[in-house]
């Protein structure tokens, strides 16, 4: 049963400028696994912006409760590159409180815009 849907969009250029202005922002928002590709190279601004949009979409699906930690929602890829959400800590607790035990995720970036949609399911 679908509990909630969350959607977010991010302007890639604006997000890239924020990362340039604040060097530690990427560390604060993303886990090492999110910042780096499977081969250990840094992810592109488009890819990071889509991951940020996913974290925002998760928060929206949960009703944007206070106290969620950025690292408690991680976007990982399976061997085929398909993105998945893993939640822990504050995000897992908020999800459990709302009966969410499964997530569906879609990421996209094109034309300077990154977007994400999540479906929270019980």
How many angstroms separate the first and last alpha carbons of the chain?
5
User: What number of other Cβ atoms are within 10 A of residue 122's Cβ?
Assistant: 12
Q: Which residues are annotated as a binding site?
A: 8, 56
**Residue entry with tokens 């970036």:** 109
User: Could you tell me the two tokens for 116?
Assistant: 């994400």
Q: Which residues are annotated as a binding site for Mg(2+)?
A: 8, 56
pLDDT (tens digit per residue) in 64-110 = 999 999 999 999 988 888 999 999 999 999 999 999 999 999 999 99
Q: pTM of the entire structure?
A: 0.95
| Mean pLDDT score, 20-37 | 95
Spatial CB neighbours of 5, under 8 Å, sequence gap ≥ 6: 61, 117, 118, 119, 120
Give me the chain's average pLDDT, please.
96
Cα dist. 49→44, 67, 99 in Å?
Answer: 9, 21, 28
Give the pLDDT of residue 109.
Answer: 95
Domain ranges of the chain: 2-121
pLDDT (tens digit per residue) in 111-121 = 999 999 999 99
Topology classification of domain 2-121 = Ribosomal Protein L22; Chain A (3.90.470)
């Amino acid at each position: 049963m679908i509990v909630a849907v969350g959607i977010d969009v991010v302007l890639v250029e604006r997000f890239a400028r924020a990362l340039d202005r604040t060097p530690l922002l990427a560390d604060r928002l993303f886990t090492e696994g999110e910042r780096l590709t499977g081969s250990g190279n840094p992810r592109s601004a488009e890819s990071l912006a889509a991951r940020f949009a996913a974290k925002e979409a998760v928060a929206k699906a949960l009703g944007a409760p206070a106290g969620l930690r950025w690292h408690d929602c991680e976007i990982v890829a399976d061997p085929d590159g398909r993105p998945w959400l893993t939640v822990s800590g504050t995000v897992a607790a908020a999800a459990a409180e709302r009966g969410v035990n499964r997530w569906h995720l879609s990421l996209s970036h094109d034309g300077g815009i990154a977007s994400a949609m999540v479906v929270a399911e019980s």
